[in-house]
Chains A and B, each alone.
Chain A
Amino acid sequence: MRFPLVRSAALTLAIVLVMTVAGLTAPQTTTLEFWTISLQPFFTDYVNGLIADYQRANPGVQIKWVDVQFQAIEQKLLAAIAGGVPPDVVNLNVEFTVRIAEKGALLDLDGAVPAADRARYFEGLWGGTRFRGRAYGIPWYIAPPVLFFNSDLFKKAGLNTLNPPDTEEEMVAAARQIKDRTKAYGFMPLIDGTRLMHRFLENGLPMLSADGKRAVFNTPAHVAYLQKYVDLFKGDYFPDDTLRRGFNGAVERYSAGQLGMLLVGPQFLLRIKESNPEVYAQTFVGPYPAGKGKVIHAGLMALAVPKASKHQQEAVKFALFVSNDENQLEFSKLPGTVLFPSTKKAAADPFFKQKGAGPEFKARAIAADELKSGRDLTVVVPNQSELYKIFREAVESAFFGKMSPKEALDWAVREWNARL
């Protein structure tokens, strides 16, 4: 958001007046450190503009922006907090937010943000970062996943590019067909690490009992679901680095023209375009092939304030500015970007219903439609890092043949139940 000239001029005048009255004493400058996740280089100009606007409106405040890669953010943040030099505002996903909140390192934002401000966000999203009843993140943006597919590989496999798979079952069938007929992999399913939890939930398979005190993800239905993917893996229907590299590996493989379908947030389109314009040109978009649960995991990005910030009040103010209606709307409107705002007013903007040419427009329309069934499905449990690690080990054990899917899930449920 660019600050309107008139307002800017008025603000400058106000500052001059204040300084005159105060006898020209130099104002104290507060420097806030703002960490984002992987927004460079694609959103560098936008974030710099945001910062410039804020600084203009708040002359005593300087913002120092640090962009950290997704893989490094949690470790860097914990090190910074332990070292007594935390950022003041930090962009985290729900999983990281809950994990760090559990360590007692984040500010309770239910307490720090006035009710009127909280009401601007969708209630479900505001509560998305709740741990033990308190919220630790201000919702920023969401990116519901869509299906990108390589039309060239689709055609070679004899699939109809105008009729992409609509359900998870159809996607699996299409992936088999692509592999069988083209030798290229059809997909890299999002089952790495803890993402299988999201898939369970998308298929109506719960992780916990209703009271949250017992793990229940070893029913025959859960086992059958995992078994299906283990069989696909054994049949070489997705590559062996799927579990290790997740969506980054999938984006890389897709960008090389060696993957039929890609399930990611629509913002990844920019990376595909930059990495390989040819593959971008062959890319078609379809809705995320839904599971049986009528719900889609739409990852929420939030803004958190470390408790150790020396400027908590200013930090909250800045985080609210970054995520306000105007700024979120501007973020969503950036060319080539497909993101959705977390505030009610911004989300209601007619922009999200506009039609146009190019995969971005299609992706936006599809993702906007998906929002009604989108939820951040991160499983919030105490002792999260260890429970997640156990779940990951179980999934890997099933895929890599150390245990059968039933043994693996039984083992993980036992370990969770001893700890819950």
Chain B
Amino acid sequence: MLGSRLLIVLLLAVPAATWSPVLGAAGRAVPDAYVPTAASGDLLPAPREAALGRGAFRLDARTTRIVLADGATDEDLYAARELTEELRALGGPALRVAREREVSGPSGHILIGQSADHALLARALQSAGAGGVSRPEGYLLQVTPRQIIVAGADRRGTFYGVQTLRQLLRRGKGGTVPEATIRDWPDHPVRAVHVLLDGASDPFHIELIDRVLAPYKFNTIIAEAEYVQWESGRPLWAPDQRGATKAQVRRLIEAAREHHIQVIPLIATLGHSEWVFAGLRDEALCRQVAYGPGGGVTCDRARAVFPAVYDPDRQITVDGKTTTLNEALIVPVLKEAVELFRPAFLHLGHDEVRGPSGLRYDMRLYLRDIINLSGVLRAMGVRPMVWGDVLWERREEAASDPQFGELPRDLTVVPWKYEDVRDYPEAAHFRRLGFDVLGATWYRLHNNYFFSRAVRAAAGLGMIRTTWTGHFQNRAALTRAYRQLYTYLSASAFFWNADRPAPEQFPSETELARRFAEAWTRGASPPAQPSAGTLLNLASVVTQTHIDNDGKGWQGKGADYDLRALAPGRHRAGGILFEVLDPAHTRGKSIIMLRGERDVAAAMPPHVTVRWGGRAACLAIVHTTLDRAVNFGEVVGGYTITLAGGRTVPIELRYGQNISSWLWDAERGIPSIEQEIAWSGRTAAGNDVLLQMVRWKNPQPQTPITSIELVSAGGRASPVVFAITALDRCP
């Protein structure tokens, strides 16, 4: 024993700059630096009725079959394939798909289908004494140690039962399924996500359907399609080349169909018709059709500055012929859209219709345009839909116009409201007038919860979760506007089940972001194996404390605004272990705060070098910034890892991507799917706070790491490092 103590003392006496492979690290070796964790959290959307048992069904590649009806269709096969893919992603057994005639009985199998055409499943239901679910899109999912039954009221119901089963599979990491009986059906017939189509829709929206929308039980996409490369109206107008091609749209529609999702095109007419002005070949014509007192408005294609609203009836001359914008462009585009999408509905837009500089748009013209365009759609067997803001905000004026009575009663009105409001009287108002109603929400939790309930109470058609990431931004949405995507999950939950869970019990945004990322990356890499590693001891290089007892630590604002909620000791994030130092044991310091503009960081070092001498396949660094950077993507600092032999590898810290402020971002939420949250908590004052984690993969895992240099760019968002874990194997 004495000998080893002496050896430790001698080794510690080696100058820090000297690398010694034998020495290992100034850290603690741990066998469980990474352990894969089973999916946690409640089922989303919450099932209507769920009873969980204590047993489990064990999946066995040799004996377990996914059993479909003898007459199963491609759609049934598709649902079965979803299940096998889920198991593959989880590293579970590869199950064969069989027809009912190929198995002797239900025992040991997963039976999928509708009882009306799956005799084996019907018998199994009967002998289990389980009544089916008859409501549209409903299903019964029964998991016993003997068998699994997914009995849909219809094909969609079966499909959604399979989606719930996929979530249960994750709890058992693909090896077992916990015992459960779930009876479930949706509150709303239409559960839609609104998306903006562009040249990146294929593959982005197709992947979104496959990984998120269908698994979370959306059944409709409202596809904003004005920027599709339409062929109509070419003498006077040309589409934006960044728009989706018709071939891309066809692929999207096909992918949606496979996932039981209908696609409804939205062509923004009258309001938000920048696409019309931007495509007009003649800028003089742009000024001519703009609504408002004659001419004198900016129509600048290069700057994309246009009026937002046109006059559909104003006479114009195209190729020497007198016509109107509706006749020459709008109606032909609508007809082309119907031909492409073959939809049951077409959304005509008509929102935020007002003249330049806030001028009031003529209500007669507004109503007449809806009536005219609805007539065009009806002739093609398609039902019209319009946004409801103008008809709601100017309801007295609209109702007093004689044309109001001429609005078609098969018109679906879509009032949108995005605030966390409790009351949505629009829904009942439009229903009383005899229109179908779809409520449109945005990303906020209470907004989705209360609006969904209001539409259900008014016996409306359903709900739409809108997406406003900007035109032609789909490719960037995951990394710049992630909040708009991960909050699809809360909308899906409330659109399916308007009662549960209550907003107060709903998973946090951090959890939603994690779940979305998990769904998005599912199957991208083989399941991770446990790994040993080292918790680097940062005690010799810490510069500040995260617990501020005297107004001199963390941000210098005392106990109310510090990170004392982060207990010293070991924590786990994404399966990775990290250790936070206790300032009481390390000379009053626990973190590496680097120099920055804030008062407390001004006296800190601009860079700190962590010397080490061990091998690692991966490093995980838990960190945050002391304040918010002004610009998204701004480089706020960096880490340079030096390998034995002198090779250096940099990690750039880009604000909003791999690092963010310790305070919850009120504007952006979690702005990028790249951002991994290591820990979240709350200050004593009540602020939501969080730390991020960046992972680095060593290009030469056999070569020891000699040092990690941490550097601040010196701005307001200066980096702070809390812990570094070295992993023998990358998760």
Contact = CB atoms under 8 A, between A and B. Distances in A.
Top 6 nearest A-B pairs (CB, nearest first) are: A44-B296, A275-B360, A38-B357, A41-B296, A400-B421, A401-B422
B92 to A, nearest CB: 43
B356 A402 contact: no
B305 A256 contact: no
A76 B687 CA distance: 33
Contact of A275 (B303, B359, B420, B630): B359
A271 B687 contact: no
Interface stretch (A23-31, A243-251, A325-333, A366-374): A243-251
A396 B419 contact: yes
Contacts of B354: 248, 252
A402 B360 CA distance: 32
B396 interface: yes
A239 B395 CA distance: 12
Nearest to B419: A396
A313 interface: no
Given A68-B298, A390-B666, A417-B685, A241 B357 contact: no
A207 interface: no
22 contacts: A40-B296, A41-B292, A42-B357, A66-B300, A66-B303, A69-B356, A239-B393, A245-B393, A251-B358, A253-B393, A255-B360, A268-B358, A386-B628, A386-B667, A401-B421, A402-B446, A415-B663, A415-B666, A415-B687, A417-B557, A418-B663, A419-B663
Q: Is the interface of B mostly helix, strand, loop or mixed?
A: loop
Contacts of B667: 385-386, 389
A80 interface: yes
A314 interface: no
A231 interface: no
B521 interface: no
B127 interface: no
B376 interface: no
Nearest to A251: B358
Nearest to A87: B303
A414 B631 CA distance: 23
Interface in B387-408: 393-394, 396-397
Contact of A66 (B305, B397, B561): B305
B305 A241 contact: no
Nearest to A75: B470
A152 interface: no
A8 interface: no
A256 B628 contact: no
B3 interface: no
Interface in A65-94: 65-69, 72, 76, 80
Interface string B321-355: 00000000000000000000000000000000011
A383 to B, nearest CB: 6
Contacts of A104: 630
B561 A418 contact: yes
Interface string A348-383: 000000000000000000000000000000000011
Contacts of A249: 393
A199 B305 CA distance: 33
Interface of A: 38-42, 44-45, 65-69, 72, 76, 80, 102-104, 239-241, 243-245, 248-249, 251-253, 255-256, 258, 268, 271, 274-276, 382-383, 385-386, 389-390, 393, 396-397, 400-402, 411, 414-415, 417-419
Contacts of A383: 627-628, 630, 716
Contacts of B631: 103
A76 B303 contact: yes
A370 B261 CA distance: 60
Query: Which residue among A69, A245, A256 has the maximum number of chain B CB atoms within 10 Å of its CB?
Result: A69
Query: Which residue among B296, B555, B557 has the maximum number of chain A CB atoms within 10 Å of its CB?
Result: B296
A192 to B, nearest CB: 11
A41 B305 contact: no
Contacts of B561: 417-418
Contacts of A402: 420, 422, 446
A65 B297 CA distance: 10
Contact of A69 (B296, B308, B396): B308
A411 B686 contact: yes
Contacts of A396: 419-420
A82 B98 CA distance: 57
A215 to B, nearest CB: 12
Contacts of A256: 360, 394, 397
A241 B391 CA distance: 13
Nearest to A382: B716
B131 interface: no
B699 interface: no
Contact of B420 (A103, A248, A400): A400
Contacts of B687: 414-415, 418
Contacts of B666: 386, 389-390, 393, 415
B663 A271 contact: no
B397 A241 contact: no
Given A67-B297, A252-B393, 10 more contacts: A40-B356, A65-B298, A68-B305, A76-B303, A258-B397, A275-B360, A276-B360, A386-B666, A386-B667, A402-B420
A175 B122 CA distance: 67
Interface size class of B (residues with CB under 8 A): 35 or more
B85 interface: no
Interface string B658-678: 000001011100000000000
A38 B303 CA distance: 16
Contacts of A275: 355, 359-360
Contacts of A44: 296-297
B636 to A, nearest CB: 14
B526 interface: no
Interface string B299-316: 010011100100000000
B556 to A, nearest CB: 11
B686 A414 contact: yes
A349 B323 CA distance: 51
B360 A41 contact: no
Interface in B379-435: 393-394, 396-397, 417, 419-422, 425
A274 B361 CA distance: 11
B630 A69 contact: no
B627 A252 contact: no
A252 B420 contact: no
A196 to B, nearest CB: 15
A66 B283 CA distance: 14
Contacts of A400: 419-422
A152 to B, nearest CB: 16
Contacts of A38: 356-358
Contacts of B417: 244
A417 B420 CA distance: 24
A67 B305 CA distance: 8
A248 B356 CA distance: 11
A41 B297 contact: yes
A65 B422 CA distance: 44
A389 B664 CA distance: 13
B683 A418 contact: yes
Nearest to B293: A41
A275 to B, nearest CB: 4
B55 interface: no
Given A68-B305, A256-B360, A41 B683 contact: no
Contact of A258 (B396, B419, B557, B665): B396
Contacts of B557: 417-418
A69 to B, nearest CB: 7
B352 to A, nearest CB: 9
Interface string B270-305: 000000000000000000000011111110100111
A243 B557 CA distance: 34
B358 A248 contact: yes
A255 B446 CA distance: 33
Nearest to A412: B666
A7 B293 CA distance: 35
Nearest to A80: B303
Nearest to B420: A402
Nearest to A47: B296
